[in-house]
Amino acid sequence: MKHVRSRLLAASFTSLAYGSFVLAEAAPRFPTGLWARSPSPASARGQAKSQKLSNPLNDLLDEAQHAMDTNDFEAAVPPLHKFIAEQPEVAFAHFQLAYAYTALKHLEAARAEYERAMALDPKMPEPPLNLGILLMEKDPAAAVAPLRKAVELLPSQSRPRFLLGSALERSGDLAGAADAFEGALRLDPRDLEGLLHLGNLDLRLERPAEAEAKFRGAMEMQLKPAPAALGLAQSLDAQHKPEAADVYRAYLALQSTDSVARGRLVHLLVEQEKYDLALEELDRCEGGKPPSLDLLKLRADIQIAQKKLDAAVVTLRQAAALAPSDAQLVAGLGRVYLEKRDFPAAEKELKAALQRDPKNIVYWKDLSSAYYLSGDCPATLSALEVIAKMEPPGAGAWFIRALCYDKLHQLRPALDAYDKFLALEQGKSSDQVWQAQQRSKVLKHMLEAKR
Protein backbone atom coordinates (compact mmCIF):
# COMPACT_ATOMS: atom_id res chain seq x y z
CA MET A 1 0.00 0.00 0.00
CA LYS A 2 2.98 2.38 0.14
CA HIS A 3 2.55 3.31 -3.53
CA VAL A 4 -1.12 4.06 -2.90
CA ARG A 5 -0.34 6.46 -0.05
CA SER A 6 2.29 8.33 -1.99
CA ARG A 7 -0.18 9.06 -4.79
CA LEU A 8 -2.82 10.06 -2.25
CA LEU A 9 -0.38 12.46 -0.65
CA ALA A 10 0.46 14.10 -3.96
CA ALA A 11 -3.20 14.62 -4.74
CA SER A 12 -3.93 16.00 -1.28
CA PHE A 13 -1.28 18.67 -1.53
CA THR A 14 -1.98 19.71 -5.09
CA SER A 15 -5.75 19.70 -4.93
CA LEU A 16 -6.59 21.24 -1.58
CA ALA A 17 -5.37 24.80 -1.17
CA TYR A 18 -4.74 26.21 2.32
CA GLY A 19 -7.77 27.87 3.83
CA SER A 20 -10.22 26.93 1.08
CA PHE A 21 -11.14 24.00 -1.10
CA VAL A 22 -9.88 24.21 -4.65
CA LEU A 23 -9.99 20.80 -6.26
CA ALA A 24 -7.54 21.43 -9.05
CA GLU A 25 -6.94 17.77 -9.88
CA ALA A 26 -8.90 14.58 -9.80
CA ALA A 27 -8.87 12.52 -6.65
CA PRO A 28 -6.12 9.89 -6.39
CA ARG A 29 -6.65 6.60 -8.16
CA PHE A 30 -7.25 3.41 -6.23
CA PRO A 31 -5.62 0.24 -7.71
CA THR A 32 -8.01 -2.26 -9.31
CA GLY A 33 -7.99 -6.05 -8.89
CA LEU A 34 -7.39 -5.81 -5.14
CA TRP A 35 -10.63 -6.90 -3.51
CA ALA A 36 -11.89 -10.39 -4.34
CA ARG A 37 -14.37 -10.42 -1.46
CA SER A 38 -15.03 -8.34 1.63
CA PRO A 39 -11.99 -8.93 3.78
CA SER A 40 -10.40 -6.60 6.30
CA PRO A 41 -7.80 -4.25 4.76
CA ALA A 42 -4.95 -6.35 6.18
CA SER A 43 -6.17 -9.63 4.71
CA ALA A 44 -6.95 -7.90 1.43
CA ARG A 45 -3.31 -6.87 1.13
CA GLY A 46 -2.28 -10.51 1.71
CA GLN A 47 -4.70 -11.75 -0.90
CA ALA A 48 -3.47 -9.20 -3.40
CA LYS A 49 0.00 -10.67 -3.14
CA SER A 50 -1.08 -14.27 -3.55
CA GLN A 51 -3.80 -14.05 -6.17
CA LYS A 52 -5.37 -11.72 -8.73
CA LEU A 53 -9.10 -12.29 -8.70
CA SER A 54 -11.64 -10.19 -10.52
CA ASN A 55 -13.87 -8.25 -8.17
CA PRO A 56 -16.99 -6.44 -9.36
CA LEU A 57 -16.57 -3.99 -6.51
CA ASN A 58 -13.45 -2.65 -8.17
CA ASP A 59 -15.65 -1.55 -11.06
CA LEU A 60 -17.46 0.69 -8.59
CA LEU A 61 -14.17 2.26 -7.57
CA ASP A 62 -13.22 2.72 -11.22
CA GLU A 63 -16.59 4.31 -11.93
CA ALA A 64 -16.17 6.73 -9.04
CA GLN A 65 -12.62 7.49 -10.08
CA HIS A 66 -13.65 8.21 -13.66
CA ALA A 67 -16.34 10.61 -12.41
CA MET A 68 -13.82 12.44 -10.26
CA ASP A 69 -11.31 12.50 -13.12
CA THR A 70 -13.92 14.50 -15.07
CA ASN A 71 -14.83 16.63 -12.01
CA ASP A 72 -18.28 15.06 -11.85
CA PHE A 73 -18.17 14.54 -8.11
CA GLU A 74 -21.92 14.10 -7.81
CA ALA A 75 -21.67 11.00 -10.02
CA ALA A 76 -18.84 9.62 -7.88
CA VAL A 77 -20.98 9.39 -4.74
CA PRO A 78 -23.40 6.51 -5.62
CA PRO A 79 -20.74 3.94 -6.62
CA LEU A 80 -18.74 4.81 -3.51
CA HIS A 81 -21.83 4.29 -1.36
CA LYS A 82 -22.38 0.90 -3.01
CA PHE A 83 -18.76 -0.09 -2.45
CA ILE A 84 -18.85 0.97 1.23
CA ALA A 85 -22.11 -0.93 1.74
CA GLU A 86 -20.22 -4.08 0.73
CA GLN A 87 -16.79 -3.16 2.12
CA PRO A 88 -17.39 -0.79 5.10
CA GLU A 89 -13.92 -1.32 6.56
CA VAL A 90 -11.94 0.04 3.60
CA ALA A 91 -10.44 3.34 4.74
CA PHE A 92 -9.57 4.44 1.22
CA ALA A 93 -13.18 4.27 0.02
CA HIS A 94 -14.26 6.52 2.90
CA PHE A 95 -11.45 8.89 2.01
CA GLN A 96 -12.60 8.99 -1.63
CA LEU A 97 -16.16 9.67 -0.54
CA ALA A 98 -15.00 12.42 1.83
CA TYR A 99 -13.01 13.94 -1.02
CA ALA A 100 -16.08 13.96 -3.27
CA TYR A 101 -18.22 15.46 -0.49
CA THR A 102 -15.59 18.15 -0.01
CA ALA A 103 -15.80 19.11 -3.66
CA LEU A 104 -19.60 19.19 -3.41
CA LYS A 105 -19.36 21.36 -0.27
CA HIS A 106 -21.22 18.79 1.81
CA LEU A 107 -18.85 19.61 4.61
CA GLU A 108 -20.45 17.78 7.53
CA ALA A 109 -20.71 14.61 5.48
CA ALA A 110 -17.11 15.04 4.37
CA ARG A 111 -15.97 15.48 7.97
CA ALA A 112 -17.72 12.26 9.03
CA GLU A 113 -16.08 10.29 6.21
CA TYR A 114 -12.61 11.68 6.92
CA GLU A 115 -13.05 10.73 10.57
CA ARG A 116 -14.20 7.24 9.57
CA ALA A 117 -11.15 6.81 7.34
CA MET A 118 -8.89 7.94 10.19
CA ALA A 119 -10.46 5.42 12.54
CA LEU A 120 -10.05 2.60 10.04
CA ASP A 121 -6.45 3.40 9.12
CA PRO A 122 -4.74 5.58 11.76
CA LYS A 123 -1.49 5.53 9.78
CA MET A 124 -2.98 7.00 6.62
CA PRO A 125 -1.94 10.70 6.58
CA GLU A 126 -4.34 12.07 3.99
CA PRO A 127 -7.60 11.93 6.01
CA PRO A 128 -6.31 13.95 8.99
CA LEU A 129 -4.59 16.38 6.64
CA ASN A 130 -7.72 16.99 4.59
CA LEU A 131 -9.91 17.05 7.70
CA GLY A 132 -7.72 19.76 9.19
CA ILE A 133 -8.02 21.81 6.01
CA LEU A 134 -11.78 21.25 6.00
CA LEU A 135 -12.16 22.56 9.56
CA MET A 136 -9.69 25.43 9.22
CA GLU A 137 -12.10 28.12 8.06
CA LYS A 138 -15.01 27.69 10.48
CA ASP A 139 -13.45 25.94 13.48
CA PRO A 140 -9.66 26.35 13.53
CA ALA A 141 -9.39 25.03 17.08
CA ALA A 142 -10.97 21.74 15.95
CA ALA A 143 -8.52 21.61 13.03
CA VAL A 144 -5.52 21.49 15.36
CA ALA A 145 -5.81 17.82 16.44
CA PRO A 146 -6.07 16.27 12.94
CA LEU A 147 -3.30 18.52 11.66
CA ARG A 148 -1.05 17.48 14.56
CA LYS A 149 -1.74 13.90 13.49
CA ALA A 150 -0.82 14.75 9.89
CA VAL A 151 2.45 16.31 11.08
CA GLU A 152 3.20 13.15 13.07
CA LEU A 153 2.56 10.95 10.03
CA LEU A 154 4.45 13.23 7.62
CA PRO A 155 7.47 14.35 9.64
CA SER A 156 9.54 15.29 6.59
CA GLN A 157 6.84 17.45 4.95
CA SER A 158 6.77 21.20 5.68
CA ARG A 159 3.22 21.87 4.44
CA PRO A 160 1.38 20.03 7.26
CA ARG A 161 3.39 22.06 9.78
CA PHE A 162 2.45 25.26 7.95
CA LEU A 163 -1.23 24.30 8.07
CA LEU A 164 -0.93 23.43 11.76
CA GLY A 165 0.63 26.82 12.40
CA SER A 166 -2.25 28.51 10.58
CA ALA A 167 -4.83 26.63 12.65
CA LEU A 168 -3.05 27.49 15.90
CA GLU A 169 -2.75 31.13 14.87
CA ARG A 170 -6.44 31.37 14.02
CA SER A 171 -7.41 29.71 17.29
CA GLY A 172 -5.34 32.18 19.32
CA ASP A 173 -2.33 30.03 20.27
CA LEU A 174 0.31 32.39 18.90
CA ALA A 175 3.27 30.78 20.64
CA GLY A 176 2.25 27.33 19.38
CA ALA A 177 1.73 28.73 15.89
CA ALA A 178 5.22 30.24 15.93
CA ASP A 179 6.70 26.85 16.87
CA ALA A 180 4.83 25.16 14.01
CA PHE A 181 5.90 27.75 11.43
CA GLU A 182 9.51 27.53 12.63
CA GLY A 183 9.33 23.75 12.19
CA ALA A 184 8.03 24.21 8.65
CA LEU A 185 10.85 26.64 7.85
CA ARG A 186 13.48 24.24 9.18
CA LEU A 187 12.24 21.73 6.61
CA ASP A 188 11.85 24.31 3.84
CA PRO A 189 13.80 27.53 4.48
CA ARG A 190 12.51 28.99 1.19
CA ASP A 191 8.85 28.74 2.24
CA LEU A 192 7.84 32.36 1.70
CA GLU A 193 4.34 31.96 3.13
CA GLY A 194 5.74 30.46 6.32
CA LEU A 195 8.30 33.24 6.62
CA LEU A 196 5.63 35.94 6.22
CA HIS A 197 3.33 34.25 8.73
CA LEU A 198 6.14 33.91 11.23
CA GLY A 199 7.12 37.57 10.78
CA ASN A 200 3.54 38.67 11.42
CA LEU A 201 3.37 36.43 14.47
CA ASP A 202 6.54 38.03 15.82
CA LEU A 203 4.85 41.41 15.43
CA ARG A 204 1.77 40.22 17.31
CA LEU A 205 3.99 38.73 20.01
CA GLU A 206 5.77 42.11 20.30
CA ARG A 207 9.05 40.80 18.94
CA PRO A 208 9.70 43.45 16.27
CA ALA A 209 13.44 42.79 15.94
CA GLU A 210 12.78 39.11 15.17
CA ALA A 211 10.01 40.14 12.78
CA GLU A 212 12.38 42.50 10.98
CA ALA A 213 14.80 39.63 10.29
CA LYS A 214 11.98 37.46 8.89
CA PHE A 215 10.67 40.18 6.59
CA ARG A 216 14.14 41.06 5.35
CA GLY A 217 14.58 37.39 4.48
CA ALA A 218 11.23 37.40 2.67
CA MET A 219 12.20 40.51 0.69
CA GLU A 220 15.38 38.81 -0.46
CA MET A 221 13.23 36.17 -2.17
CA GLN A 222 11.55 38.91 -4.27
CA LEU A 223 8.46 36.75 -4.81
CA LYS A 224 5.91 38.77 -2.85
CA PRO A 225 7.58 42.13 -2.31
CA ALA A 226 4.46 44.01 -1.16
CA PRO A 227 3.56 41.86 1.90
CA ALA A 228 7.23 41.59 2.84
CA ALA A 229 7.72 45.36 2.55
CA LEU A 230 4.64 46.06 4.66
CA GLY A 231 5.80 43.66 7.36
CA LEU A 232 9.28 45.19 7.34
CA ALA A 233 7.85 48.70 7.60
CA GLN A 234 5.66 47.67 10.54
CA SER A 235 8.54 45.94 12.34
CA LEU A 236 10.78 49.00 11.89
CA ASP A 237 7.92 51.23 13.00
CA ALA A 238 7.45 49.17 16.17
CA GLN A 239 11.15 49.67 16.93
CA HIS A 240 10.86 53.44 16.29
CA LYS A 241 13.47 53.25 13.54
CA PRO A 242 13.41 56.32 11.26
CA GLU A 243 13.84 54.24 8.10
CA ALA A 244 10.30 52.89 8.62
CA ALA A 245 8.96 55.87 6.64
CA ASP A 246 11.11 55.02 3.62
CA VAL A 247 10.00 51.39 3.70
CA TYR A 248 6.35 52.43 3.95
CA ARG A 249 6.91 54.59 0.86
CA ALA A 250 8.47 51.63 -0.96
CA TYR A 251 5.50 49.46 0.00
CA LEU A 252 3.00 52.08 -1.14
CA ALA A 253 4.75 52.24 -4.51
CA LEU A 254 3.67 48.60 -4.87
CA GLN A 255 0.31 48.84 -3.09
CA SER A 256 -0.88 52.39 -3.58
CA THR A 257 -4.47 51.78 -2.39
CA ASP A 258 -3.56 50.86 1.20
CA SER A 259 -4.96 53.91 3.00
CA VAL A 260 -4.10 52.51 6.45
CA ALA A 261 -0.40 52.25 5.61
CA ARG A 262 -0.44 55.68 3.99
CA GLY A 263 -2.08 57.14 7.08
CA ARG A 264 0.64 55.62 9.24
CA LEU A 265 3.27 57.07 6.90
CA VAL A 266 1.72 60.50 7.35
CA HIS A 267 1.96 60.13 11.14
CA LEU A 268 5.63 59.17 10.87
CA LEU A 269 6.41 62.10 8.61
CA VAL A 270 4.69 64.44 11.07
CA GLU A 271 6.76 62.98 13.92
CA GLN A 272 9.88 63.63 11.84
CA GLU A 273 8.61 67.18 11.15
CA LYS A 274 8.56 66.54 7.41
CA TYR A 275 5.31 68.43 7.04
CA ASP A 276 5.39 69.11 3.31
CA LEU A 277 5.96 65.42 2.55
CA ALA A 278 3.16 64.55 4.96
CA LEU A 279 0.77 66.87 3.10
CA GLU A 280 1.78 65.30 -0.21
CA GLU A 281 0.90 61.87 1.15
CA LEU A 282 -2.42 63.20 2.44
CA ASP A 283 -3.22 64.51 -1.02
CA ARG A 284 -2.52 61.02 -2.39
CA CYS A 285 -4.83 59.52 0.24
CA GLU A 286 -7.66 61.78 -0.83
CA GLY A 287 -7.05 61.23 -4.55
CA GLY A 288 -9.45 64.00 -5.55
CA LYS A 289 -12.26 62.56 -3.40
CA PRO A 290 -13.92 64.41 -0.49
CA PRO A 291 -11.58 63.95 2.50
CA SER A 292 -12.57 61.65 5.32
CA LEU A 293 -12.81 62.76 8.94
CA ASP A 294 -9.53 61.05 9.86
CA LEU A 295 -7.68 62.70 6.99
CA LEU A 296 -9.05 66.10 7.93
CA LYS A 297 -7.82 65.62 11.48
CA LEU A 298 -4.39 64.69 10.17
CA ARG A 299 -4.30 67.72 7.91
CA ALA A 300 -5.28 70.02 10.78
CA ASP A 301 -2.50 68.54 12.96
CA ILE A 302 0.03 69.27 10.23
CA GLN A 303 -1.24 72.81 9.68
CA ILE A 304 -1.08 73.53 13.42
CA ALA A 305 2.48 72.19 13.54
CA GLN A 306 3.34 74.48 10.61
CA LYS A 307 1.71 77.41 12.46
CA LYS A 308 -0.76 77.78 9.59
CA LEU A 309 -3.53 78.56 12.03
CA ASP A 310 -6.00 80.13 9.59
CA ALA A 311 -5.78 77.05 7.38
CA ALA A 312 -6.20 74.83 10.44
CA VAL A 313 -9.41 76.65 11.37
CA VAL A 314 -10.84 75.97 7.91
CA THR A 315 -9.87 72.29 8.08
CA LEU A 316 -11.27 71.80 11.58
CA ARG A 317 -14.55 73.41 10.57
CA GLN A 318 -14.76 70.95 7.66
CA ALA A 319 -14.14 68.10 10.09
CA ALA A 320 -16.69 69.41 12.60
CA ALA A 321 -19.28 69.54 9.83
CA LEU A 322 -18.75 65.79 9.30
CA ALA A 323 -18.90 65.02 13.04
CA PRO A 324 -20.93 67.75 14.76
CA SER A 325 -21.12 65.81 18.04
CA ASP A 326 -17.34 65.31 18.27
CA ALA A 327 -16.33 67.39 21.30
CA GLN A 328 -12.64 66.86 20.64
CA LEU A 329 -12.87 68.57 17.25
CA VAL A 330 -14.70 71.57 18.68
CA ALA A 331 -12.21 71.84 21.55
CA GLY A 332 -9.35 71.60 19.05
CA LEU A 333 -10.85 74.51 17.14
CA GLY A 334 -11.06 76.44 20.43
CA ARG A 335 -7.39 75.72 21.10
CA VAL A 336 -6.41 77.05 17.67
CA TYR A 337 -8.34 80.25 18.34
CA LEU A 338 -6.58 80.44 21.71
CA GLU A 339 -3.24 80.25 19.94
CA LYS A 340 -4.41 82.91 17.50
CA ARG A 341 -5.30 85.02 20.58
CA ASP A 342 -8.86 85.29 19.38
CA PHE A 343 -10.19 84.81 22.88
CA PRO A 344 -13.92 85.40 22.26
CA ALA A 345 -13.89 82.75 19.50
CA ALA A 346 -11.88 80.40 21.74
CA GLU A 347 -14.39 80.80 24.59
CA LYS A 348 -17.30 80.11 22.24
CA GLU A 349 -15.80 76.88 20.87
CA LEU A 350 -14.59 75.63 24.26
CA LYS A 351 -18.00 76.22 25.81
CA ALA A 352 -19.54 74.29 22.92
CA ALA A 353 -17.11 71.43 23.55
CA LEU A 354 -18.06 71.38 27.23
CA GLN A 355 -21.73 71.18 26.32
CA ARG A 356 -20.87 67.91 24.59
CA ASP A 357 -18.43 66.68 27.26
CA PRO A 358 -19.04 68.67 30.47
CA LYS A 359 -16.59 66.78 32.69
CA ASN A 360 -13.55 67.03 30.46
CA ILE A 361 -10.93 68.70 32.64
CA VAL A 362 -8.69 69.57 29.67
CA TYR A 363 -11.44 71.64 28.09
CA TRP A 364 -12.05 73.42 31.41
CA LYS A 365 -8.37 74.26 31.69
CA ASP A 366 -8.31 75.65 28.18
CA LEU A 367 -11.42 77.71 28.92
CA SER A 368 -9.84 79.08 32.12
CA SER A 369 -6.80 80.10 30.04
CA ALA A 370 -9.05 81.87 27.52
CA TYR A 371 -10.80 83.71 30.33
CA TYR A 372 -7.53 84.72 32.00
CA LEU A 373 -5.81 85.84 28.82
CA SER A 374 -8.83 87.95 27.91
CA GLY A 375 -8.65 89.62 31.35
CA ASP A 376 -11.89 88.13 32.73
CA CYS A 377 -10.73 87.34 36.27
CA PRO A 378 -14.15 86.46 37.78
CA ALA A 379 -14.79 83.91 34.99
CA THR A 380 -11.24 82.57 35.42
CA LEU A 381 -11.78 81.99 39.14
CA SER A 382 -15.13 80.29 38.50
CA ALA A 383 -13.53 77.92 36.00
CA LEU A 384 -10.68 77.19 38.41
CA GLU A 385 -13.23 76.27 41.09
CA VAL A 386 -14.80 73.73 38.73
CA ILE A 387 -11.36 72.29 37.97
CA ALA A 388 -10.49 72.09 41.68
CA LYS A 389 -13.46 69.75 42.20
CA MET A 390 -11.94 67.38 39.65
CA GLU A 391 -8.30 67.48 40.83
CA PRO A 392 -6.32 69.24 43.59
CA PRO A 393 -4.95 72.59 42.35
CA GLY A 394 -1.28 72.60 41.44
CA ALA A 395 1.22 75.42 41.78
CA GLY A 396 0.25 76.98 38.46
CA ALA A 397 -3.44 77.07 39.36
CA TRP A 398 -2.67 78.76 42.70
CA PHE A 399 -0.50 81.35 40.97
CA ILE A 400 -3.27 82.22 38.50
CA ARG A 401 -5.77 82.40 41.38
CA ALA A 402 -3.44 84.74 43.24
CA LEU A 403 -3.04 87.03 40.23
CA CYS A 404 -6.79 87.16 39.69
CA TYR A 405 -7.56 87.91 43.35
CA ASP A 406 -4.80 90.52 43.30
CA LYS A 407 -6.29 92.25 40.25
CA LEU A 408 -9.71 92.19 41.92
CA HIS A 409 -8.17 93.75 45.05
CA GLN A 410 -9.21 90.77 47.20
CA LEU A 411 -6.17 91.00 49.41
CA ARG A 412 -6.60 88.09 51.83
CA PRO A 413 -7.55 85.48 49.15
CA ALA A 414 -4.66 86.78 47.02
CA LEU A 415 -2.15 86.43 49.87
CA ASP A 416 -3.42 82.95 50.73
CA ALA A 417 -3.12 81.87 47.09
CA TYR A 418 0.44 83.26 46.84
CA ASP A 419 1.38 81.40 50.02
CA LYS A 420 0.01 78.10 48.70
CA PHE A 421 1.89 78.63 45.45
CA LEU A 422 5.14 79.31 47.30
CA ALA A 423 4.64 76.27 49.53
CA LEU A 424 4.34 74.04 46.47
CA GLU A 425 7.32 75.71 44.76
CA GLN A 426 9.51 75.68 47.88
CA GLY A 427 13.21 75.60 46.97
CA LYS A 428 12.60 76.47 43.34
CA SER A 429 13.71 79.63 41.59
CA SER A 430 11.67 81.29 38.84
CA ASP A 431 10.20 84.63 37.84
CA GLN A 432 6.85 83.50 39.24
CA VAL A 433 8.41 82.64 42.62
CA TRP A 434 10.09 86.02 42.80
CA GLN A 435 6.86 87.79 41.81
CA ALA A 436 4.85 85.86 44.40
CA GLN A 437 7.37 86.64 47.13
CA GLN A 438 7.32 90.36 46.36
CA ARG A 439 3.54 90.59 46.12
CA SER A 440 3.15 88.63 49.35
CA LYS A 441 5.26 91.22 51.18
CA VAL A 442 3.21 94.07 49.72
CA LEU A 443 -0.10 92.38 50.54
CA LYS A 444 0.95 91.72 54.13
CA HIS A 445 1.83 95.39 54.57
CA MET A 446 -1.49 96.42 53.05
CA LEU A 447 -3.44 94.09 55.32
CA GLU A 448 -1.54 95.29 58.39
CA ALA A 449 -2.24 98.91 57.39
CA LYS A 450 -5.99 98.14 57.37
CA ARG A 451 -5.99 96.94 60.97
Predicted confidence at residue 292, as pLDDT, reads 87
Torsion-angle region of residue 52: left (phi > 0), alpha (psi -120 to 50) or beta?
A: beta
Q: What pLDDT does 408 receive?
A: 96
State how far the Cα of 376 lies from the Cα of 370, in Å rounded to an integer.
9
- Model confidence pLDDT, tens digit, residues 311-349: 999 999 999 999 999 999 999 999 999 999 999 999 999
pLDDT band at 261 (very low <50, low <70, confident <90, very high): very high
6 vs 100, higher pLDDT:
100
The pLDDT tens digits of the residues spanning 211-248 come to 999 999 999 887 779 999 999 999 999 999 999 999 99
CA–chain centroid gap for 201, Å, is 11
| Digit-coded pLDDT (tens) for 166-175 | 999 999 999 9
List phi, psi (to 5°) of 63.
-60, -45
Residue-wise pLDDT for 60-76, tens only, equals 988 999 999 899 999 99
Q: What is the pLDDT of residue 31?
A: 31
0.85 cut: is pTM over it? Answer: no
User: Residue 343 corresponds to which amino acid?
Assistant: F
**For the chain, what percent of residues have pLDDT higher than 90?**
76
Q: How confident is the model at residue 102 (pLDDT cuts 50, 70, 90)?
A: very high
Over 271-303, what HEC string results? HCCCHHHHHHHHHHHHCCCCCCHHHHHHHHHHH
Going by pLDDT thresholds of 50, 70 and 90, the confidence category of residue 32 is: very low
pLDDT of residue 313: 97
* pLDDT of the residue at 449: 86
Q: Exposed, middle or buried, 448 (CB in 10 Å: 0-12/13-18/19+)?
A: exposed
Fill in the DSSP letter of residue 62. Answer: H
- Could you report the per-residue pLDDT of 175-185, keeping only the tens digit for each? 999 999 999 99
**Residue 182: C-alpha distances to residues 62, 143, 152, 212 (Å):** 41, 19, 16, 15
